[in-house]
């Protein structure tokens, strides 16, 4: 018996060593709050219902931070190389409903300390990783603070399927990312395909980046803000439905000075039909900042101006949006917050529409929210 135990000991030690070099982590966020909106019109079959709507009170999940749970893991393969994976699903904390499988991320790949990271599957594009951090919604506030109906995916409104993605190591403050997503249609290589590239540079308290994302056939390629059912996108819904591609050029910068962080970003968005009949173009300019009044209490504020042009009609929709949030950390894992947004539609835009809500019946819309976020 002793000989058997001694013989098995090296195998047990080897197994323990292999286990120590691998890890799997369960993680998640639960965010839930109560919203008020002063004016929201009902929708049916993707169209506004005339004379409907009014004040709205609702419980909503996952606004400043999307409610989610996930698994991530790595295995040390030696020589600074690891195998990695991530599976992440969003869920509705108000109803307990889940997403469509791992609706946010589902990928596997390799990570090298020297050469970077290469992954395969459903992932965020490069601009989400490197340019979104220069927006207020990328730090506090989430999708209600996004540019109108998150037209530029600066609030990671969608991830990309069937993607190959590369993330470089950081070289002297510089980092690069890129992805290509396969459309998967026989004889139609470009249909439903997407690609992105972005680069960022950080030097002390200063950081800046630039990126580009293109999505072919966006109404079917990604889960964007298309009109349908009870939701109506009056900002760019018709252009999205007719777009051969959605092209997004983005840039941003930030500077931290003690407890104050200032941010700026610019995006140039094209919904192109390919024949000019439904082309719609937008430019978004955002300036924002956050300030830690105490280590536990942070406030954030921002302003976005959106300038649009419909090439078919020469109409010029414009939107002004002001955002404000205060967040207090009760612990390292639990925070409470209050936030609000005001949007004014101008130019040829007839309806205000803050991201996450149906349009107002007027050119103004106001929303407010109180909530709690718990991280595990």
| CATH number (domain holding residue 291) | 2.40.160.10
- Given a cut of 80, whether residue 257 has pLDDT beyond it is yes
With a cut of 70, say whether residue 107 has pLDDT above it. yes
DSSP code, position 168: P
* Residue 12 falls inside a structural domain: no
pLDDT, position 217 = 96
Give the rounded percent of residues in the chain with a pLDDT score beyond 70.
94
pLDDT of residue 323: 98
Residue 252 pLDDT more than 50? Answer: yes
Per-residue model confidence (pLDDT) at position 353: 98
Residues 254, 154: Cα–Cα separation, whole Å? 15
- Is 197 among the domain residues? yes
**Residue 42: CA atoms inside 13 Å, Cβ hemisphere, count?**
7
Domain span including residue 274: 24-375
Q: What are the tens digits of pLDDT across the range 45-90?
A: 999 999 998 999 999 999 999 999 999 999 999 999 999 999 999 9
Q: Which of 11 and 351 is assigned the larger pLDDT? A: 351
The stretch 284-301 carries a mean pLDDT of: 98
Top mean pLDDT of 7-21, 100-114, 199-213 is at: 199-213
Q: Is residue 132 part of a domain?
A: yes
Residue 6 forms part of a structural domain: no
pLDDT at 21: 83
In a domain, 143, yes or no: yes
Long-range contacts of 303-307 (CB under 8 A, 24+ apart): 304/147, 306/147, 306/148, 306/282, 307/282, 307/283
Q: Is residue 10 part of a domain?
A: no
Rounded to the nearest angstrom, the gap between the alpha carbon of residue 328 and the centroid of all alpha carbons in its chain is 23
Integer Rg of the chain from CA: 23
H or E, element range at 183: none
Residue 20 has pLDDT above 70, yes or no: no
Give the model's pLDDT for residue 277: 66
Judged against a pLDDT cut of 50, whether residue 16 lies above it is answered with: no
pLDDT at 98: 76
Q: How many degrees, rounded to 5, is the angle at CA 256 between CA 159 and CA 324?
A: 65
100 band by pLDDT with thresholds 50, 70 and 90: low
- The mean pLDDT value for 314-334 works out to 97
pLDDT at 104 over 60: yes
Q: How many domains does the chain have?
A: 1
Instruction: List, for residues 146-192, the tens digit of each pLDDT value.
Output: 999 999 999 999 999 999 999 999 999 999 999 999 998 888 889 99
Residue 228 half-sphere exposure toward CB, CA atoms < 13 A? 8
pTM: 0.91
Q: Is residue 240 part of a domain?
A: yes
CB 154 within 8 A of CB 269: no
**Is residue 202 included in any domain, yes or no?**
yes
Q: Which of 325, 343, 128 is nearest to 234 (CA)?
A: 343
Q: Determine the average pLDDT of the residues in 97-110.
A: 88
Share of the chain above pLDDT 90, in %: 87
Residue with tokens 């893991």: 73
């Amino acid at each position: 018996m002793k000989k058997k135990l001694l013989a098995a000991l090296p195998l047990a030690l080897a197994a323990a060593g292999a286990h120590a070099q691998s890890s799997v982590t369960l993680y998640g966020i639960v965010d839930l709050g109560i919203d008020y909106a002063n004016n929201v019109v009902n929708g049916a079959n993707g169209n506004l219902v005339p004379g409907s709507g009014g004040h709205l009170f609702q419980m909503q999940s996952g606004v400043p931070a999307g409610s989610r749970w996930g698994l991530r893991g790595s295995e040390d393969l030696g020589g600074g190389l690891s195998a990695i994976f991530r599976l992440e699903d969003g869920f509705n904390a108000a109803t307990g409903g889940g997403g469509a499988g791992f609706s946010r991320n589902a990928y596997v790949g390799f990570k090298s300390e020297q050469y970077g990271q290469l992954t395969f599957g459903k992932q965020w594009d490069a601009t989400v990783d490197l340019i979104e951090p220069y927006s207020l919604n990328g730090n506090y506030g989430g999708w209600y603070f996004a540019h109108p109906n998150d037209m530029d995916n600066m609030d990671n409104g969608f991830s990309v399927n069937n993607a190959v993605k590369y993330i470089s190591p950081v070289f002297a403050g510089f980092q690069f990312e890129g992805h290509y997503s396969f459309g998967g249609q026989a004889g139609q290589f470009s249909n439903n395909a997407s690609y992105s590239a972005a680069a960022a540079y950080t030097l002390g308290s200063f950081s800046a980046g630039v990126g580009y994302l293109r999505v072919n056939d966006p109404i079917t390629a990604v889960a964007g803000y298309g009109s349908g059912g009870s939701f109506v996108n009056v900002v760019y819904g018709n252009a999205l439905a007719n777009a051969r591609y959605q092209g997004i050029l983005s840039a941003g910068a930030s500077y931290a000075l003690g407890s104050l962080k200032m941010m700026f970003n610019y995006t140039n968005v094209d919904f192109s039909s390919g024949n000019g009949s439904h082309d719609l173009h937008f430019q978004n300019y955002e300036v924002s900042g956050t300030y830690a009044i105490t280590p536990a209490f942070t406030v954030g504020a921002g302003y976005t101006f959106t300038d649009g042009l419909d090439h078919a009609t020469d109409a010029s929709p414009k939107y002004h949006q002001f955002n404000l949030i205060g967040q207090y950390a009760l612990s390292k894992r639990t925070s409470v917050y209050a936030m609000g947004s005001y949007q004014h539609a101008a130019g040829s835009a007839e309806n205000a529409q803050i991201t996450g809500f149906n349009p107002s019946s007027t050119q103004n819309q106001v929303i407010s929210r109180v909530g709690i976020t718990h991280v595990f």
